[in-house]
Structure 1
Amino acid sequence: MRAVEYCLVAVDCPDPVALSGFYHGLLGGEVKKYDDDWYDLYAPGGHRIAFQRAPGHRPPQWPRADENSQQLHLDFHVRDMGAAETQALSLGAVPLDLDDQDGQRGFRVYADPAGHPFCLCQA
């Protein structure tokens, strides 16, 4: 066993209930409330994403900017880009960069409802 093991990714947001619901709709799994300011998504495959309330949250800028960088983003493999995009948009995702160069690039960039960038990547 390694001295360090993956535990979770914690995401700051203004509304952890809403953002955990968005990612639950996108990925499936189970959302569990820790307290009013922290919700966990236990996603399929053993992955865990936590959503913590940050009252002064400012969404990162896309593309990157010196003053308010994206800080981190999540990538998700998808088998069917069109179906995944439709699902993400129906849940409230906002397109940021959909020019996938006629499928050559293999990914598209969106913002979740709190403004964090994430990518759908062709598996």
Structure 2
Amino acid sequence: MIGRLEKTVLDCPDPRALAAFYGELLGMRVNEDTDGEWVVIGREPGMRELAFQRDPGYRPPTWPDPDRPQHEHLDIRVGDVEAAERAVLGLGARVLQGESGTGFRVYADPAGHPFCLVY
């Protein structure tokens, strides 16, 4: 092993806003905030973290349109997909692909990054 994965970093126009969205969704708290340019959320020291960095020229992906494809996405396991969907929509997400019988639904976070609720 050369190293271990420390954090996943998402570019976005407003790191604090996106950190608040994912903090609520994943039950994580802000561990680091560098003037709103770089915000890191996590649970406990040493655990994997999720970070957000400001990109003033950020252009969200247009999934599934290949003109601006996604770079990565998060799969978030949930117990009750209906309750989870209501919660993420209440936080500002939007549906990209609803129920399809595949065991996941696709959403966009407030900055446009796709993520899946997996059930």
Q: Is the Cα contact below 8 Å between 1:108 and 1:121 reproduced in 2?
A: yes
Q: CA RMSD in A?
A: 1.6
CA shift for structure 1 position 3: 1.8
CA shift for structure 1 position 43: 4.0
Structure 1 runs, 4 residues or longer, greater than 3 Å off: none
- Give a deviation string over 1:23-75, Cα, whole Å, max 9, x none: 0111112113331200001047933100000000000011140x311111110
Counterpart amino acid of 2:106?
Answer: V
- Unmatched runs of 5 consecutive residues or more in structure 2: none
The SS at the match of 2:76 is strand
Q: Is the Cα contact below 8 Å between 1:27 and 1:43 reproduced in 2?
A: no
Does 2:111 align with 1:121?
no
TM-score by length of 1: 0.89
Q: Which stretch of the first structure deviates more once superposed, 112-121 or 34-43? A: 34-43
Counterpart amino acid of 1:8?
Answer: K
CA shift for structure 1 position 100: 2.1
Q: Percent identity?
A: 48
Distance 1:52 1:18, change over 3 A: same
- Measure, in 1, the Cα distance between the counterparts of 2:82 and 2:105: 11
TM-score by length of 2: 0.91
Matched with 1:29 is 28
The SS at the match of 2:95 is strand
Does 2:62 align with 1:95?
no
The SS at the match of 2:77 is strand
- Unmatched runs of 5 consecutive residues or more in structure 1: none
